[in-house]
Amino acid sequence: MSKNYTVAVVGVGLVGKEMLKVLHQRAFPAGEIRVLATRARTETIDGHDYAVVPASDEAFDRVDIALFAGTEGARGASQQFGWSAAERGVFVIDNGNDFRMDPRVPLVVPEVNPDAMLNHRGFIANPNCSTIQMVMALAPLHREAGMKRVVAATYQAVSGTGRAAVAELRKGIRSGTDGGQFAPEVYPHPIAFNVLPHIGALSEEFPGYYSEEVKMMLETRKIFGLPDLPVTATCVRVPVFNGHSEALNVEFERPISAERARELLAAAPGVEVLDDPAAAKYPLPAEASGRDPVYVGRVREDKSAPHGLDLWVVSDNIRKGAALNAVQIAEKAVEMGLI
């Protein structure tokens, strides 16, 4: 990475701020970092001051890489500016949901399917946070034994919804502890001391499924290039500030033992195995928060299905599930000579 790049970060919510932190922490070769948002202001993030300027087509002039920090389910900035920026020669990496299933747009997790970037048109999509950590755990096992079916149940933190949801959980905890009540505004029901099997809007294409569940199903198929892979998910919002957890049940085409699965996962880049249930050692969102890896534990053979495994997967949804993965896409694009 001998060249210094001009990088634009679009949006300074939870994900945008984390993108800026990750760019500095990983010493990405950025000669200039521009921060674009809806209004002009100054933001201090991780000890660095940024002059935020309003996003416009002209703001992307002479920008090499643009990271769009759309949060879970967010729409807008990449719809308005993404393709026009790409037409100006900007390498666009979009964390939003708008173009993930667009056939023109590679959907990339660098440790899993970097070759998909070779077909880019100047626009790469970051998968959904829950999809990213799942495919990170599935990829080394799939290479060994071939996936046959995936069943996922998620336990997703409120940070995935954004700052207002984090504030609502804090308010709900205080109110519940004090014996008070308040009307939730972000979620349809109180999230404190509760779980909500409801993330996103109901799908018309998949009746009964919410959009987060559909994302996991369709994105997983696209990332692995398996359009007919049976995948189903139940996505649940839980009263955790940060860090998503997932219970995965996976059936494979060929035999794979729990011991072999642990070996493969331990050798996989970006994955750490924490699996000693007798000593109560397994991944926890409280410990994964603020860290880069995808953590896997509770690896065990499913005796109810041939060639089946159960896994418990935890990761920081704002970091690897969004900001870090986007920066890693930029790093891989530089490494591959695509920028």
Task: Write the CATH number for 256.
Answer: 3.30.360.10
Domain identity same for 307 and 331: no
DSSP annotation of 281: B
Domain identity same for 119 and 263: no
Please report the pLDDT score of residue 71 as a whole number: 56
pLDDT at 220 over 80: yes
Spatial separation of the C-alpha atoms in residues 316 and 130, rounded to whole Å: 10
Domain identity same for 23 and 87: yes
Domain identity same for 145 and 277: yes
pLDDT interval class at 181 (50, 70, 90): confident
> Which structural domain, as residue segments, surrounds residue 279?
131-317
Domain identity same for 268 and 288: yes
Domain identity same for 225 and 279: yes
129 is catalytic: yes
Please report the pLDDT score of residue 72 as a whole number: 45
Give the pairing type, strands 65-68 and 30-37: unpaired
Spatial separation of the C-alpha atoms in residues 85 and 108, rounded to whole Å: 19
Spatial contact of 121 and 104, defined as CB atoms under 8 Å apart: yes
pLDDT at 225 over 70: yes
Please report, as a single letter, which amino acid is at residue 168.
E
pLDDT at 207 over 90: yes
Which of 99-103, 178-182, 265-269 comes out lowest in average pLDDT? 178-182
Residue with tokens 């050798």: 267
Q: What is the CATH number of the domain that holds 108?
A: 3.40.50.720
- Residues 14-38 as b or e (16 or more Cβ within 10 Å = b): bbbbbbbbbbeeeebebeebbbbbe
Domain identity same for 92 and 226: no
Domain identity same for 194 and 331: no
Instruction: Describe the crossing of helices 258-267 and 129-145 by its angle, rounded to 10 degrees.
Output: 120
Domain identity same for 288 and 305: yes
- Say how many residues make up the chain: 339
Spatial contact of 324 and 292, defined as CB atoms under 8 Å apart: yes
Domain identity same for 45 and 76: yes
- In angstroms, the Cα distances linking 59 to 33, 56, 82 are 12, 5, 12
pLDDT interval class at 3 (50, 70, 90): confident
Spatial contact of 184 and 168, defined as CB atoms under 8 Å apart: yes
Domain identity same for 222 and 305: yes
142 is catalytic: no
Domain identity same for 33 and 115: yes
Total number of domains in the chain = 2
User: 287: which residues sit within 8 A by CB, 6+ positions away?
Assistant: 295
pLDDT tens digits, 295-317: 999 999 999 999 999 999 999 99
Spatial separation of the C-alpha atoms in residues 28 and 31, rounded to whole Å: 9
The residue annotated as part of the active site, out of 120, 129, 142, 235, is 129
Report pTM. Answer: 0.95
pLDDT tens digits, 72-129: 444 568 999 999 999 999 999 999 999 999 999 999 999 999 999 998 999 999 999 9
Give the pairing type, strands 5-10 and 41-45: unpaired
The residue annotated as part of the active site, out of 120, 142, 235, 244, is 244
